[in-house]
Structure 1
């Protein structure tokens, strides 16, 4: 009888372990992640089978803007999202009271200045027009990139806007637009500061086409965001593990060849 009891106990424990990694009958649990098409969705597709082995069936929902993925996550339509850096999440979270947090850093997308009309900063004429993202964190990031390359000077502030420009020797004119629209504006402006994911989607190479670009020391690592209540869930832990794996590191390094780079 003792042997039978011990056997039953062992089976129950085994089933409990299996239940922590999906279903005990071998079926998978759905894991829905919102992402930008490039490179985020591509990075997720690379770990689809790894998640399946852990008991999760990955479903990627593509978003083409920076607002809806956080709202969808907060409303419970997603389990996680993967498209943004920490300052943007913190700003939107505070403004909208979304109840979100981040778990792991995955990669860095250096922001760059692109143009169809010039190939160097020296060619920027007096009064040249430059488009930048219209959200506060990425707009600030764009202005700081220009300032670090001597085009303008800014007040010493964490989040800078065009109102914080203290010196503009070239009399540059700034246009603030939705980040996804920036590549399309290159025909209308002299240059635009574009997020790397939208640059890549527009067949712009950060290494070959950017006139200036952020250094590898950029603090704007792209992260996995989840609801605060789900930060320590088994589903979240599985996603964290596969996106901070050596497989993911190798994929990023080999596919993007330095245009983006791992942040872990």
Structure 2
């Protein structure tokens, strides 16, 4: 009888495992992959085998989801997604807003923005939305004035007033922490700042307010947004447990958006 019971339990466990639906999600390492890893146990209990694929760039996660090689991704905000779809003809959609990563400006050689010298070298991301976001932050800080019609995709060419004659270098977002010592100021996405050991709440010379419109979103192809396993992930991402995890782990460097 004991052997029969053991066998039945083993068979049940195998059956549950066999029925688990695999969900492959691309993410940048911090904080996105960390948040997803936190959810793995609860999703496993719901029959979802969440597999997190870590990427270091902002292009391949979208490309692979659009091509069907991955189910979803978690690394970007809506303005970036909109620009990506428009420029590359992809059909990606947001299915959940999760958190905000206030964008910041960092320096190894200066203690404040007032210390920036004339013709200081400023590094900003080279993609349209994050580059524009960086320039808008500098405008808010009073360093430059932009053409009002430039909007969130502003580039250095849209600068109308530049009293310090700041010089701009547009570089791949992921490389900015590595060249921080080579420039006077670098405007860095929070995920890359955290990976580099920077604390946005303490180290940034200027940072976006907590009500930034750049909410980080879970993204999938428009034809897969009704995937049952994906819906379970959406629900899990917007729970009180995730809110508490974000607040306790990142201490204001990452802010829940729900």
TM-score normalised by structure 2 residue count: 0.92
Give the match for residue 253 of structure 2.
259
2:53 alignment partner, SS class:
strand
Structure 2 distance, partners of 1:93, 1:51, is 30
Give per-residue Cα distances to partners, 1:135-174, cap 9 Å, x unaligned.
0000000000000010000011222111100000000000
Deviations 1:69-89 (A, max 9, x none): 000101111111000000001
What is the Cα-based RMSD across aligned positions, in Å? 1.2
Task: Report matched runs for 1:35-114 at 5 Å.
Answer: 35-114=27-106
Q: Aligned residue for 2:229? A: 235
The alignment partner of 2:186 has SS state of strand
- Alpha-carbon distance in 2 for matches of 1:97, 1:152: 33
**Which of 15, 18, 25 pairs up with 2:15?**
25
Per-residue Cα deviation, 1:68-114 (whole angstroms, up to 9, x for no partner): 10001011111110000000011101111111100110000011000
Distance apart, 1:231 and its partner CA: 1.2
- 1:188 matched to 2:158? The reply is no
* Aligned partner of 2:164 among 159, 163, 170: 170
Q: Which of residues 115, 128, 131 is equivalent to 2:120?
A: 128
Question: What displacement does 1:24 show?
Answer: 11
The answer as to whether partners of 2:110 and 2:184 remain within 8 angstroms in 1 is yes
- Structure 2: 5+ residue runs without aligned partners? 1-12
- The C-alpha deviation readout for 1:19-56, integer Å capped at 9, x for no partner, is xxxx9931211110000000000000111011111111
Question: What is the rounded CA distance, in whole Å, between the counterparts of 1:61 and 1:219 in structure 2?
Answer: 26
- CA distance in structure 1 between the aligned counterparts of 2:198 and 2:32, rounded to whole angstroms: 17
Q: What is the DSSP-based 3-state SS (H/G/I as helix, E as strand, rest coil) of the residue aligned with 1:26?
A: helix
For 1:122 and 1:144, how far apart are their aligned partners in 2?
Answer: 18
Q: Quote the Cα distance in structure 1 between the aligned partners of 2:45 and 2:67.
A: 28
Distance in 2 separating the partners of 1:140 and 1:119:
24
Higher Cα Rg, which structure: 1
Structure 1: 5+ residue stretches without partners: 1-22
